[in-house]
Chain A
């Protein structure tokens, strides 16, 4: 019974908003705007349970109630806590330029996240060496186009014979062959999205309700 309430809401709102897209009046536009301005207020509280669950799991390590507790784990969990509360307290005070919050954002968060992603270069290089084989026709084709794009993207084609033709072909393929493939994929994805939206509205798709639905 309790689970029927959210399902009912999804159904009613879904149908109303599908219909609203086909009505062009000031009040239908108002209703669309209402949905947009309510959405952040409806969703903002989700950050509270999310933060609570994460901190609670680290709290268990901190207090050594973990399955196999070690001092190192406890110290590291402590680091997370200190970082969280420093950010929280300084941020609530001020987030203007020059504040501690802004400083930590610019000098810790940005450099470290971009470094983390940059490390993938090393893994790509390893993968290129180990896995990229011209063993079958399919993979060879993949490799030929990868090489083509890599050469022309970096201006290396200016140093090789017939480089100009490489570049022209690469540009042409990006605008035609590549477009065809990506478009077919997008159409497939869009049909999937439509189906999912309809399934959600009619309560067939219930994975958003969490386990056991």
Chain B
């Protein structure tokens, strides 16, 4: 009976599971210095002039979030700590939804102002048009491309209104989450809530919406194209990083580009690094750990980061995910790999013993 339950497969799975769980609790310390392929990106941010602006497109979803979100967090942290402004966008709906969480959490943690220190362009679809358009005269773009015409209302600026009319808060919040979407859609949302808000408040918000144009975003003012950006980066769970390479090929001399990829796409990405189509590859969990460790050692320790997040009032699970990032999983990662290596070894020993027997 035991033989039936403890099949080889079950034993292997159990061992793998135990190794991961052990890694979570064992106090193993694994340090990962910056590898050459990650270094360029980090040094670029480090040596940037305060106030320069970077653009990061976030293109990961649930299936790859574990490796890619830590890259996004570590990079944006470094940018904020070095006073580099960040423009965020997403090429697909699901990532765009996740991107909003990352940038607003870190923005709030570091006391950055939306529109001034960071901006979320939201869903930038179709992405080919977006990349093509940003290269040249993006401010002249019209039509359905969402670049520019964005609206962001900060709920904290409307405290008086909120206290006088509680339903205002939820409406402002829902409009605030359309940040990055067209002005049209925010106006549409506002119209839907006209009755709830009352005429005065409605008019006030409407006016606010209509007067905000893309030129009002301080962060966008000095930027006319890729050449004015410190760098463009894509953090992705798919091969969207190659879309950047393809569609920005006309601006190769102006754009400074790198990609944070999943470990699966990383080996393929190195060739673009060698061909100088990008300056860095940040390969999945390892890359994230390297940047994270570097930022923690050089600029702000994990404890300080945790405290800052606590002060900003984030719940425990959010803090744990952001502060721990990738490095808290490194011991588990090493143990699982060791486990697989041992399994390969045992498999081979068995194979040779059997072959000997057969001979």
Contact surface of A with B, Cβ cutoff 8 Å: 29, 32-33, 36-37, 39-40, 94, 96-98, 102, 105, 109-114, 116-118, 121-122, 124-126, 128-130, 132-135, 143, 147, 150-151, 153-156, 158, 171, 174-176, 178-179, 182-183, 186
Contacts and interface: CB of A to CB of B under 8 A. Distances in A.
A150 B285 CA distance: 12
Q: How large is the interface on B (under 10, 10 to 19, 20 to 34, 35 or more residues)?
A: 35 or more
Contact of B126 (A37, A124, A151, A153): A37
Interface of B: 8-9, 12-13, 15-16, 30-32, 35-37, 61-66, 94, 97, 100, 125-126, 128-129, 132-133, 141, 143-145, 173-174, 177, 263, 267-268, 270-271, 273-275, 283, 286, 330, 333-334, 336-341, 343-344, 346-348, 351
9 contacts: A33-B132, A37-B145, A39-B126, A112-B62, A132-B347, A134-B348, A153-B263, A154-B333, A156-B337
A34 B326 CA distance: 42
Given A94-B174, A129-B347, A122 B129 contact: no
Contact of B343 (A37, A96, A114, A125): A125
A153 B337 CA distance: 9
B145 A33 contact: yes
Contacts, number: 141
A174 B16 contact: no
- Mostly, the A contact residues are helix
A129 B270 contact: no
Contact of B143 (A37, A114, A116, A179): A37
Contacts of B268: 182, 186
B342 to A, nearest CB: 9
Contact of B32 (A117, A121, A124, A155): A155
Contacts of A155: 30-32, 330, 334
Contacts of B334: 154-156
Contacts of B263: 153
